[in-house]
């Protein structure tokens, strides 16, 4: 278990259910501090952390009675991290999909590359639903276009270490990206801001309903959100395309150098 004064592990949660306790237990075994952000949950799964804090050393709980959305919660966490003196935060889903055993590796890579976003590249197992894998291909392709194939990882996979200050600045001028669209918008806007993307593989675990898994994905609503997101980004891409091309060449050259020295 590693304790850090610069990197905090952030777990947003909305009605995650009983699996939340397992996620928190796994997290505090590998990293401290861990911050849990409750985004308007009504299932009471977080109450145990408030009633028995001594059972969860290194955990701090933030509670919003209003459901703000993942993006708004992530930016709230970034603001709190900045106020507390943290320079980086790793976002990890509360539903058990993200691998706690990769937290330390991602944080260590971030410490070596403090100016970069350490992006998880998902390694899907046989339990991954086909419709989810097929449905993400369009968003992946559009995001690659919006960054001119500059080396970002899967834009929908939210297991990432963010430099806090650039993340806050990237969203300061836009009201979008506050809900399900946060992960791809953050990937693109940080790239545009000149933050290097570094890909690291991370296994994805799909937890069944019988095991306590829960999903808040709504096929129609969330795909419409993605369409609106990429319409906005493509419009904003055009006046930036020459700068983006320069960044794309730069990050691809650096990534090639990393590969040759590995």
The tokens describing 164, both together, are 């806090």
**Nearest in space to 101 (alpha carbons), one of 186, 200, 232, 221:** 200
Confidence band (pLDDT; 50, 70, 90) for 60?
Answer: very high
Give the chain's end-to-end CA distance (angstroms, integer).
26
pLDDT band with cut points at 50, 70 and 90 for residue 199: very high
Asked whether the beta carbons of 85 and 8 are under 8 A apart, the reply is no
**Packing angle of the helix pair 137-146, 182-192 (nearest 10 deg):** 20
pLDDT for the residue 221: 65
pLDDT band at 133 (very low <50, low <70, confident <90, very high): low
The pLDDT, as a whole number, for residue 203 is 92
pLDDT at 59 over 90: yes
Q: Is the pLDDT of residue 34 over 70?
A: yes
**Does position 78 have pLDDT exceeding 70, yes or no?**
yes
Structure confidence at residue 214 (pLDDT): 62
DSSP 192-245: HTTPEEEEEEEEE-PPPGGGT------HHHHHHHHHHHHHHHHHHHGGGHHHHH
DSSP 122: E
Q: What percent of the chain has pLDDT over 70?
A: 88
- pLDDT tens-digit readout, 152-191: 999 999 999 999 999 999 999 888 888 878 999 999 999 9
- Provide the whole-model pTM: 0.91
pLDDT value of residue 222: 67
Buried b (16+ CB within 10 A) or exposed e, 187-221: bbbbbbeebbbbebebebebbeeeebbbeeeeeee
pLDDT more than 90, % of the chain:
76
Q: How many helices (H) and strands (E) does the chain have?
A: 10, 9
pLDDT of residue 235: 94
Q: 105-109, 117-121, 209-213: lowest mean pLDDT where?
A: 209-213
How large is the average pLDDT for residues 95-102?
93
Which residue, among 199, 216, 125, 119, has the nearest Cα to 159 in the 3D structure? 119
Instruction: Domain 2-128+153-216: give its CATH code.
Output: 3.90.550.10
């Amino acid at each position: 278990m590693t304790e850090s004064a610069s990197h905090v592990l952030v777990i947003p949660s909305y009605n995650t259910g009983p699996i939340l306790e397992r996620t928190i237990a796994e997290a505090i075994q590998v990293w401290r501090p861990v911050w849990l952000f409750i985004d308007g949950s009504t299932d009471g799964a977080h109450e145990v952390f408030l009633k028995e804090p001594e059972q969860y050393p290194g955990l701090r709980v933030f509670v919003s009675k209003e459901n703000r959305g993942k993006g708004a919660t992530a930016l709230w966490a970034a603001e709190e991290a900045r106020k507390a003196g943290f320079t980086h935060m790793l976002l990890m889903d509360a539903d058990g999909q993200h691998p706690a055993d990769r937290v330390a590796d991602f944080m260590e890579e971030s410490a070596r590359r403090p100016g970069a976003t350490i992006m998880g590249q998902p390694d899907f197992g046989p339990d991954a639903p086909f419709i989810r894998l097929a449905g993400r291909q369009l968003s992946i392709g559009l995001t690659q276009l919006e960054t001119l194939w500059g080396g970002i990882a899967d834009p929908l996979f939210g297991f990432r270490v963010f430099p806090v200050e650039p993340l806050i600045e990237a969203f300061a001028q836009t009201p979008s990206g506050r809900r399900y669209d946060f992960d791809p918008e953050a990937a693109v806007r940080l790239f545009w801001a000149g933050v290097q993307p570094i890909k690291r593989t991370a296994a994805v675990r799909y937890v069944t309903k019988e095991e306590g898994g829960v999903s808040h994905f709504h096929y129609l609503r969330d795909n419409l959100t993605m369409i609106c997101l990429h319409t906005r980004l493509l419009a904003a891409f055009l006046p930036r395309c020459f700068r983006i091309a320069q960044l794309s060449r730069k990050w691809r050259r650096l990534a090639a150098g990393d590969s040759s020295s590995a």
